Amino acid sequence: MMATHLKDKLAGVGADRRSKIDARAADLIAEELSLRDLRRAHELTQRRMAEHLGVGQEGISRLEKRSDLLISTLRGYVEAMGGRLRLVAEFPDRPPVVLSGLAAMEPPAKKRKPKAASK
């Protein structure tokens, strides 16, 4: 039995069906983009993102590799691309809830130790 290639299979699909397939593929891809993929989809370089955020290019590289980010950091990254970050909580027995106020939160300032008095 001869293998069928995807491009051959898609060539036999009508234009309307192909359009629906392409739209669904784009939706699936958009659901799972990494920060790097998102930046590239907006045709931005790490250097350009660094300029937008006021950090070095190496900072963008490190940020894109992290799996744990502050919400404010993620918000700044998305806004630098012209987007808006929304956080949605999803529960099995309720409609999704958009969380408000969290994206504007900053981590608490670290308390400084008082300097010892000089004599």
Domains of the chain: 17-104 (1.10.260.40)
8 Å CB contact between 85 and 75: yes
Question: Residues 76, 60: contact at Cβ < 8 Å?
Answer: no
pLDDT one digit per residue (tens) for the chain, 119 residues: 567 777 777 788 888 888 888 888 777 666 677 899 889 888 899 999 999 999 999 999 999 998 888 988 999 999 999 999 988 999 999 999 998 876 454 444 444 454 555 54
100 exposed, middle or buried (CB, 10 Å; 0-12, 13-18, 19+)? exposed
Task: Report the C-alpha gap between 98 and 45 in whole angstroms.
Answer: 30
What does pTM read for this prediction?
0.57
Q: Are 55 and 18 in contact (CB under 8 A)?
A: no
Chain CA centroid to CA 68, Å: 12
